[in-house]
Structure 1
Amino acid sequence: MPSIEDHERGIAPKQKKRGLNLTEGRQRQQPDEKPQNDREDFSDEIVLRTENLTAYYGKFKAIEGVTMAIPKNQITALIGPSGCGKSTIIRCFNRLNDLIEGFHIDGKVYYYGQDLYDKSIDPVAVRRRIGMVFQKPNPFPKSIYDNIAYGARVIGIKQDMDELVETSLRRAALWDEVKDKLKTNGVALSGGQQQRLCIARAISVNPDVVLMDEPCASLDPISTLKVEDLMRELKKEYSIVIVTHNMQQATRIADVTAFFNARETDQGGKQGYLVEFGATEKIFNEPTKKATKQYVTGQFG
């Protein structure tokens, strides 16, 4: 298995192995060699797993008791009405919620059997391994080239930058469109190109998982299809989790789907919970829960 030093030198994604160390300092705990997998009907390897995950913003309980397993090298879609906690869940996977004052969790989140919320874990290292693409394209106000190279430079990847930039843009299906204007500011690109630039930026630091929070919500249909085609290609090397309100999109691209719903609370807010999780075809065609059937057939949402 490659060491963490291999990763810092810019090991190619095809060479990556699961469970790289996420702890700070020299005393690094070794993750489990095999993932804890109780969902063998989906995959022999589970990259992320939650056990009874409950998330709070201060005293408010935003999601309750979520247990689910994210399979490796597949696309997992999180669907459900607004306010059901999809974005909260996805941000638990790489600890972005830690940046919100008062946020905390009960339960567990595992990355190949390694507890992501253990006190020894470095959240920054987690975010290197588990990247994020947001709803609204957010390229840096820098050149296309520097949008890709910046993150690699910050974490000390020693790979040739020209090669890294080209490889990342090719993987994001953007190279042919921008190869002659790499010095152009990234914000000058179209919306769809900006989002693919953000995807290229996310994969430039060789993550293992790519999280996408409604990545096509602000895109036109043609750009949406390009991003969907890109996701299908990327899952060969990365595990992808996508939040989407678009049912057609979930059926087109997702291998597995998790349906979340929400209940009103005494405090006046909504509390999200997992209703059903399974193969996408089953969720949409043969759901076991009444609420799932009602949602996927458009009876509420």
Structure 2
Amino acid sequence: MTDDAIPAQSTGGEEHALSLTIGDRRRNRPEPSLNDPVFHISDLDVWYGDHQAVRDVTMLIGRRQITAMIGPSGCGKSTVIRCFNRMNDLIPGARVTGKVAYHGENLYDPDVDPIEVRRRIGMVFQKPNPFPKSIYDNIAYGPRVNGMKGTMDDLVEEALTGAALWDEVKDKLKSSALALSGGQQQRLCIARAIAVRPEVILMDEPCSALDPIATARIEDLMAELAADFTIVIVTHNMQQAARISDYTAFFTADVDDKGVRHGRLVEYDTTVKIFENPADQRTEDYITGRFG
């Protein structure tokens, strides 16, 4: 790999500047390990009607690790992450085969409740989607629906503090969430996700609509949340994956003999290994910009 594929140091002196150093947001975190997996995905295939969108994905997701999924558009990253909390169930014609085991239990067994799955495995989407309610009610909605015990004021404060938003909104909790900036709205959505106390947070390109300063704050937040949550992120930003993640999965799209594209996992390893010494030439070609 060329030495300039990922620049070695930050440019600019802003407090929240985006460094390009591999592992920059991982400082003071434990060494990456898959010895305590939360997910065990094996032989995963995903179909939309007659089209096989993803084929033959096998990987482990470690507990309290940040796992990044990278790859060109149309390679199945978002399709795969939506399998982890059964969001694909909501797409007409979608069908999942293989196994997605969460602490050893197949999430696609008929007796598994998808609503409970989504409580334990929360999701933050590409575009911030706060409810047209107050900041307070956005956070309180999930705990109320789930019948959670405790003082609601305390639950709201805990979630907003966990999402590094409390100090910015504590004096305007009754104001509309839609009045917040884009970066604040995304942190509100993260607070809403953690308010129901999940174990896993899935993030599908959570920074794609944000400016660099807001992106840096979200990345700092992810690094802090990884002390308590397992995080899986889809990102088109390779530098982001390099900065924040413990493990990186590189996906690409193969074209079969009929000219149909199918997403496929090419390589999965520690982020340092993927970015500094990938095992597959396709990974190196993508990271160095030769294709994608």
Describe the SS at the equivalent of 2:58. strand
Question: For residue 76 of structure 1, what is the aligned residue in structure 2?
Answer: 67
2:88 alignment partner, one of 74, 90, 97 = 97
Question: For residue 66 of structure 1, what is the aligned residue in structure 2?
Answer: 57
In the alignment, does 2:200 pair up with 1:209? yes
Amino acid at match of 2:65: Q
Question: Offset of 1:200 from its aligned partner?
Answer: 0.1
Describe the SS at the equivalent of 2:264. strand
In structure 1, what is the Cα distance between the partners aligned to 2:144 and 2:257? Answer: 48
Question: Offset of 1:269 from its aligned partner?
Answer: 4.5
1:190 alignment partner, one of 153, 177, 181 = 181
Question: For residue 200 of structure 1, what is the aligned residue in structure 2?
Answer: 191
In structure 1, what is the Cα distance between the partners aligned to 2:193 and 2:171? Answer: 22
In structure 2, what is the Cα distance between the partners aligned to 1:105 and 1:201? Answer: 28
Amino acid at match of 2:221: L
Question: Offset of 1:106 from its aligned partner?
Answer: 1.4
In structure 2, what is the Cα distance between the partners aligned to 1:96 and 1:266? Answer: 30
Question: Offset of 1:264 from its aligned partner?
Answer: 2.5
1:107 alignment partner, one of 98, 109, 112 = 98
Describe the SS at the equivalent of 1:77. strand
4+ residue runs over 6 A deviation: none
Question: Offset of 1:42 from its aligned partner?
Answer: 2.4
RMSD over equivalenced CA pairs, Å: 1.2
Question: For residue 226 of structure 2, what is the aligned residue in structure 1?
Answer: 235
Describe the SS at the equivalent of 1:251. helix
Deviations 1:153-204 (A, max 9, x none): 0111122100000000000000000000000100110000000000000000
Question: For residue 298 of structure 1, what is the aligned residue in structure 2?
Answer: 289
More RCO (CA 8 Å, sep 6+)? 2
Question: For residue 282 of structure 1, what is the aligned residue in structure 2?
Answer: 273
In structure 2, what is the Cα distance between the partners aligned to 1:268 and 1:228? Answer: 38
Q: Aligned pair in 2 of structure 1 residues 269, 138: CA closer, same or farther (>3 Å)?
A: farther
In the alignment, does 2:253 pair up with 1:246? no
CA contact 2:34–2:60 (8 Å) conserved in 1 = no
CA contact 2:66–2:247 (8 Å) conserved in 1 = yes
Q: How does 1:1-301 map to 2 (within 5 A)?
A: 42-265=33-256, 269-301=260-292
Question: Offset of 1:266 from its aligned partner?
Answer: 5.8
In structure 1, what is the Cα distance between the partners aligned to 2:239 and 2:190? Answer: 22
In structure 1, what is the Cα distance between the partners aligned to 2:216 and 2:180? Answer: 17
With normalisation by structure 1, the TM-score equals 0.85
Amino acid at match of 2:285: Q
User: Which stretches in structure 2 are left out of the alignment for 5+ residues?
Assistant: 1-31
Question: Offset of 1:221 from its aligned partner?
Answer: 0.2
Q: Aligned pair in 2 of structure 1 residues 273, 167: CA closer, same or farther (>3 Å)?
A: same
Count of aligned residue pairs for this structure pair: 262
Question: Offset of 1:43 from its aligned partner?
Answer: 2.6
Deviations 1:63-108 (A, max 9, x none): 0000000000010000000000000000000000001111111110
Question: For residue 12 of structure 1, what is the aligned residue in structure 2?
Answer: none
In structure 1, what is the Cα distance between the partners aligned to 2:258 and 2:126? Answer: 28
User: Which stretches in structure 1 are left out of the alignment for 5+ residues?
Assistant: 1-40
